[in-house]
């Protein structure tokens, strides 16, 4: 009798252990899910994190891993451009010094050449020049510039973003697709000049010394997608290929701004073109949803 009771108790213990173990595993799986989806999006995207957003209605249309914290490379330059426009005189002239040439790629300006803040900004955004934004930050005051970048991102509600330098070369410049949606929305509503600059395929100018320069855009989609209102490329080994594009569609004489964001991709232009085509093909369904 005692032996049977002992066996019965052992069976009950094993069953209870199995029940709670399985329940715990299911709970753990639920906690690590970070993807949100909408069922009618049917494109294969290579990016680890991406998002399609409706700027006009402040709404996420589709996203995957939108809260994934990741380096964002030169998309950082959009925040830097805001700080320049908020705090620096576009007509101010800067003389190129050796300090401007430290630690980054070969500067596109000559030593002691004199160039305007405006032209340096255009070069920084259009051809994604790291030296251009380093030059602007040092001219303003480097530590103060970085402080203002973080204050600006906080003001926009980008609570998961952090910036340690103005170019995006550092893997510590991090954000999420959701935070970058907030950035895109703010740029569209408040910084039309950033849109005007970044949708230019090139920009030519001369310094005070009459030396000519031309900046060529890094965005291969310009001239191919007519609805592009603004955009910024980015790439580092840690960040992978990144691309943020703001579009402005017209429908029934109204403007509808959307944004696509791809982070840590191996095919940023292909990913973005798929997302653009999907927005265009489903525009009527999206805006009437």
Give the active site residue among 63, 76, 77, 265. 77
**DSSP letters along 92-158, please?**
-EEE--GGGGSSSSPPSS-TT-EEEHHHHHHHHHHS--HHHHHHHHHHH-HHHHHHHHHHHHHHTT-
φ/ψ of residue 211, rounded to 5:
-95, 125
Q: Please indicate whether residue 80 is annotated as part of the active site.
A: no
Residue 162 has what DSSP assignment?
Answer: B
Q: Please indicate whether residue 128 is annotated as part of the active site.
A: yes
CA angle 170, 200, 56 (to 5 degrees): 80
Provide the 10 A C-beta neighbour count for residue 192: 12
Give the active site residue among 76, 80, 128, 265. 128
* Nearest Cα to Cα of residue 49 among 260, 273, 277: 260
Give the active site residue among 49, 74, 161, 217. 74
Strand ranges, E, within 170-282: 174-175, 202-206, 212-216, 228-236, 240-251, 254-265
Q: Please indicate whether residue 143 is annotated as part of the active site.
A: no
CA angle 215, 221, 227 (to 5 degrees): 110
Which residues, including other chains, have CB under 8 Å from residue 181's CB and lie 6 or more apart? 51, 53, 60, 66, 259, 261
| Catalytic machinery residues | 74, 77, 128
């Amino acid at each position: 009798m005692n032996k049977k009771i002992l066996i019965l108790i052992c069976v009950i213990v094993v069953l209870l252990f199995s029940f709670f173990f399985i329940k715990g595993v299911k709970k753990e799986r639920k906690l690590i899910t970070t993807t949100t989806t909408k069922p009618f999006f049917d494109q294969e995207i290579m990016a680890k994190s991406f998002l399609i957003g409706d700027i006009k209605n402040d709404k996420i249309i589709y996203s995957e891993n939108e809260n994934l914290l990741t380096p964002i490379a030169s998309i950082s330059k959009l925040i830097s451009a805001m700080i320049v426009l908020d705090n620096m005189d576009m007509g101010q002239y800067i003389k190129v010094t050796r300090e401007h040439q430290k630690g980054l790629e070969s500067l596109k300006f000559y030593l002691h050449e004199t160039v305007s803040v405006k032209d340096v900004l255009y070069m920084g955004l259009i051809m994604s020049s790291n030296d251009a934004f380093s030059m602007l930050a040092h001219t303003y005051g480097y530590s103060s510039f970085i402080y203002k970048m973080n204050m600006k991102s906080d003001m926009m509600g980008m609570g998961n973003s952090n910036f340690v330098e103005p170019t995006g070369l550092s893997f510590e410049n991090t954000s999420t697709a959701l935070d970058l949606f907030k950035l895109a929305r703010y740029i569209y509503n408040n910084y039309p000049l950033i849109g005007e600059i970044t949708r230019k395929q090139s920009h030519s100018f001369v310094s005070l010394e009459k030396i000519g320069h031309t900046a060529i855009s890094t965005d291969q989609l310009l001239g191919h997608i007519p609805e592009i209102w603004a955009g910024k490329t980015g790439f580092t080994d840690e960040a992978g290929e990144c691309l943020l594009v703001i579009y402005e569609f017209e429908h029934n004489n109204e403007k509808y701004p959307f944004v696509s964001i791809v982070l840590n991709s191996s095919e940023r232009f292909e990913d973005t073109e798929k997302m653009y085509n999907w927005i265009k093909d489903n525009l009527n369904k999206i805006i009437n949803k």
